Structure 1
Amino acid sequence: LSGPVWEKVWSPVATNSTMCGLRRVLLYFDWSKPMSRVRPFFRSKLANVLGGELLEDRFPLAVDTCSLAIDTSVPEGRAVHAVNCFALDLFENYQRDQGNIVVSPFSISTALAMAYAGADGQTAAEMEQVLHLGSEPGIHESFRALLDASLPTDATEGFSQLLANAMWPGIPVKPLYTQNIETNYHGEVRPLDYSNPEVAKQTINDWVSQHTGGRIQDLIQELSPATVLTLTNALFFEAAWQAPFPSETIEDLPFTTADGRTIDVPTMYTEFSGGSTHATYTQLSGRYVIDLPFEQDRMSFVIVVPERDGIPNQLTTDLFSDIDAWLQSPRDTPWFQLTLPKFKLNVASDLTNVLQQMGMSSAFHDANFSKITDAPIFIDQVQHQASIEVNPKGVSAAGATSVSFLGCFAAGTPVLTPDGERPIEELRVGDYVLSRNEFHAAGVIRPRRIEEVFHAKAEVIQLHLGSQVVHVTKDHRFYLESSGWTRAGDLQPGQRLSADLRTWMTIDDIVDTGEVVPVHNFRVAQFHTYFVGSESWGFAVWTHNCYFNSCKISVDRPFQFFIRDNETGAISFMTRVDDPTIATSKIEPRIAPIAGDSNHDGHFNSADLVLVLQAGEYEDTIAGNSTFEEGDWDGDGDFTSQDLVYALANSRYEINNPAAVAPNFGPNNNDGLRDFAAAVDSLMPGALLDDDALVEELSTDLHLLVP
């Protein structure tokens, strides 16, 4: 089916359900409205009968839910909107773990916007939504306006901000893409040979160090010989306080860390006498918000610190909106005293996983970067590092981001197919291999078609498993029992890898050979995984196909701050300080689990129901039979209608924003179908037929999904 709808649905439906299913779908289209949608359960039915396939959200409408008040009518407005809205989304995920945070959303957004310039199709649509870019033309020109507006127009004493972008291609790149990077992002084009990854890595890191005043020297930790392109952004900021802290006032004062410890840290003190400076403060939602301007009033250092114990040290979108409105309003300049720790932080972040979880998954797997090259490339890793130093004279900060595009097993590695094992180098497009859904370590093994094959030369390591040795590149992923998909280069002896037959294989040893040999990989349709091993080995290990008034205010507890451009409104840096004595740290931001989100795309929708009904044992009450991914959303050890009720009560179904306030649904005469139907009808009026036909409708849906 295709027509004036958000999705395109295609299915060679089985003959026994064609007339019923197709007729009912057509019945519920309102063809007079161009944004009509296929009802979720009908879409699931058509996609899951024998021979069916769902091409869901091929080009979804990017609905921007960001509520920040930003003037997008000015040239740089759309880019500022994108930077700030993405900043809050990303920072929310950073805040899920303890520890210091330093992040430059300006740097990350700029680097990813350069990557988006090469994207098309589904990849572009996902990036538009996650990065808040919008689908209308002109976003790259808006970034050019923002970059131009962010640079000082003349040499200003006490304020410096430098921005640099670069593209490092190892393959020919399309001229229009190069022109876009050079024109709209002022990017340098620096061709690079990745066959010697150490030299390539050092070349890029030296460039980053040069453009961040030496603050960031090791942004890229590792590159693969299979790398074909790297995009980099570097940002350096240095500004003097409008009213410096007297250096003689520094003394060690108590600071309560996030874990409750009391430590002594060097602390600065000053008084702001109303009218002499533009420093101001207010109280919002139980927090002090202090605006400390830098020289020339161009930029501000905005501190957010809880007034007392028990108030979360978190910066939410609503709180930020209130702060932003206050910053743009007329304000008095009151007298107040302030103590602030003197500190220096550096935080490295791997954004690869969190960006996929936020909804940018296809960019890392089945990517379409056809505006860069016709070769099949995808993003391998997104690395970010930011540093900041706060002292009596002012603040210096730096941020840098790299986006690397990419593979693979050595020749002779056996791969399981429906007809037995075959050497990896013999497999071709159209062949079938045994595969398992990438989100289900205990899922059903099924044959899946090879969509594309890749060949390269790369350095390999040896994984010793049992009495066998697997030769693999460091960037290839295996499923680790403790933490899921993990690079081979990050594995350790003693850890256990998922294998076939739902078993686990212990890593006996890992040897870095230093050898560069021909390597092979391929992309598997739908599940994106395959098994390496043979009958003679006695096992096959599971692998993935793919390689962020009057007052004394004492900042003596965990606090947050951000650096904001008062002219454009763009956020350059965001920081959380849990312990100012920890100078260096690493962090990998993560998404909180959403009830019902079994495919980990950040939403609860019909795709999740399809996934769990295929992989789970519905209404099987044997405790421990199901996992969270297979539908055990209420955690009772099985997958039943109560899990569907739980997910609907705790998440928004078919809505991008998963947060919801919903009633609690309990058993209705122990009739699971009626409970679920009542939940669906209450949460989504009209999603199912009313009255007597309600249970019949749901029963039909479930029967088609689980024959």
Structure 2
Amino acid sequence: MEAIMYRKALILFYSIFLLLIMQCSDTAMKPGPIDPPNLTPAQREVITASNSFAFNIFKEIVNNEADTNIFISPLSISYALGMTYNGAEGETKEAMADVLGFAGMDDLEINESYRDLTKTLITIDPEVIMEIANSIWYRQGFEVEQEFIDINQEYFDAYVAALNFNNPGAKDIINDWIEEKTHDKIQDVIKQIDPLTMMFLVNAVYFKAAWKYEFDPDDTEVEDFYLSGGAAVDCDMMHQENELFRYFNDNFQAVQLPYGDAGFCMSIFLPRQGHPLDDLIDQMDDDAWSDWMGNFTADTTIIKMPKFKLKYDRELKPDLAALGMGIAFEPYDADFSRINPEIDLYITSVLHSTFVQVDEEGTEAAAVTVVEIGTTSIDPNENLMHINRPFFFVIHDQYTDAILFMGKISNPVWED
């Protein structure tokens, strides 16, 4: 087979997970046991804004990480920054609102929508494990505005605790919380605590679901997967033939694999040969996504896709600054006076760690975002979709139109 000159790619949603979760398809099969939630205009606006943020942050990371596997949870990032947003004021608040897509919305609408989205996501499909947890850890003796704590407890159900950050065991307490909430999939995120660190705002997302139509392990075979430079590597290629929702056009092939009772699904996008993956990713925005989702139709589909398992870590400060949130990272310009009006505070770090495993049974994924606050002192067989070259996929909820996870990969590694 001719070598394929694409960058490595893998997307796992929306959210989601890119978070953000999005509708699998306007025509997707909706099982009887699940009743689509009735979203208010404000909730819909927040989800749309969150999905826009998902596309923007993902594209920014892809532009800065060529030929690497990428897996993020826009949902997790959005939640962590959403809690932080409740402490911002002035130009800092405006910049965060613009990046997160909240410009023109009031704080109550935003916070209520986060709360309601959480309730929807964790209950929408009884066959899927979907968990969202938030926490705030602050330096013992550091005074935090009670309203900031109250808001994040009420709308984000945040666990709040004061810790002696000077104690070497403080980071272990936070890391243990992260490990518990991600079912041991993400560990040791916080390596040390700087003497000027005043607070950590942490979100954790955990997702585990079996495919609605599982792959037969006996059909899995070792096959070639073609990297961006043209070299072939071995991968465990899964096989399945089923009636699935798909969308094939001149630029890409796409298929949707539902989980559980079909409340969530993974949408996989494979560029046609000669169409670079990153160019397809660059096209993603609200209009393109809506158009793509509206064109999926059910048909008998043969799908061959690789198993993969990986971890991903990234410091998101440069990406968020490039999107317009730079003021929040400036020691003397940032305004987080709604956390503490007496001390100059700014965001010193936005750490993002993820895990994903995709195999014959289904998908397990986890993500953690830690905001640290410091101070200054076409294939010829149209029924066959053979995913043997770089692709991206999205895991998303088909009722709330939110995105959970997003990623990019070209080498389907299986990391133990």
Q: TM-score, normalised by structure 1?
A: 0.50
CA 1:201–1:135: 2 relative to 1, 3 Å: farther
1:573 aligned onto 2:402: no
Paired residue for 1:561?
393
Amino acid at match of 2:180: Q
Distance 1:337 1:325 in 2: 24
1:327 aligned onto 2:159: no
1:282 aligned onto 2:251: no
CA 1:226–1:237: 2 relative to 1, 3 Å: same
| Among candidates 170, 189, 203, match of residue 219 of structure 1 | 189
Contact 2:250–2:272 (Cα < 8 Å) also in 1: no
Distance 1:552 1:153 in 2: 31
| Among candidates 306, 315, 319, match of residue 354 of structure 1 | 319
Paired residue for 1:392?
360
Contact 2:335–2:345 (Cα < 8 Å) also in 1: yes
- Cα offset, 1:217, TM superposition: 0.6
Distance 1:294 1:254 in 2: 27
| Among candidates 68, 73, 93, match of residue 60 of structure 2 | 93
Contact 1:389–1:397 (Cα < 8 Å) also in 2: yes
Distance 1:320 1:269 in 2: 32
1:105 aligned onto 2:74: yes
Contact 2:52–2:285 (Cα < 8 Å) also in 1: no
Paired residue for 2:180?
210
Contact 1:289–1:323 (Cα < 8 Å) also in 2: no
CA 1:75–1:359: 2 relative to 1, 3 Å: closer
1:76 aligned onto 2:43: yes
Amino acid at match of 2:86: A
1:118 aligned onto 2:94: no
Contact 1:72–1:78 (Cα < 8 Å) also in 2: no
Contact 2:51–2:286 (Cα < 8 Å) also in 1: no
Distance 1:293 1:280 in 2: 9
| CA shift digits 1:131-180 (9 cap, x unpaired) | 111232121111111111111168x23x1100000011212211111111
Amino acid at match of 1:572: L
Amino acid at match of 1:204: I
Distance 1:284 1:320 in 2: 19
Contact 2:238–2:305 (Cα < 8 Å) also in 1: yes
Name the SS for the 1:165 alignment partner: strand
Paired residue for 1:163?
132
- Cα offset, 1:321, TM superposition: 3.5
Stretches of structure 1 lacking an aligned partner (at least 5 in a row) = 1-67, 408-452, 455-548, 585-707
Name the SS for the 1:151 alignment partner: helix
| CA shift digits 1:282-304 (9 cap, x unpaired) | 12451111111111110010001
Paired residue for 1:672?
none
Distance 2:212 2:191 in 1: 38
Contact 1:88–1:317 (Cα < 8 Å) also in 2: no
Paired residue for 2:198?
228
Amino acid at match of 1:233: N
| Among candidates 291, 298, 315, match of residue 256 of structure 2 | 291
| CA shift digits 1:386-435 (9 cap, x unpaired) | 1110000100100110001117xxxxxxxxxxxxxxxxxxxxxxxxxxxx
Name the SS for the 2:404 alignment partner: strand
Range that drifts further, 129-138 or 346-355: 129-138
- Please show how residues 288-437 of structure 1 align to structure 2 within 5 Å: 288-313=253-278, 314-318=280-284, 321-328=287-294, 332-365=297-330, 366-374=333-341, 375-406=343-374
Stretches of structure 2 lacking an aligned partner (at least 5 in a row) = 1-21, 27-37
1:178 aligned onto 2:149: yes
Larger radius of gyration: 1
Name the SS for the 2:92 alignment partner: helix
| Among candidates 110, 120, 126, match of residue 139 of structure 1 | 110
Identity %: 29
- How many residues are matched? 369
Amino acid at match of 1:105: P
Contact 2:277–2:391 (Cα < 8 Å) also in 1: no
Contact 1:270–1:339 (Cα < 8 Å) also in 2: yes
| Among candidates 230, 233, 236, match of residue 260 of structure 1 | 230
Paired residue for 2:171?
201
| CA shift digits 1:181-234 (9 cap, x unpaired) | 0011111112111113x4222211111110011111122233212211110000
Paired residue for 2:4?
none
Distance 2:360 2:414 in 1: 19
Amino acid at match of 2:145: K
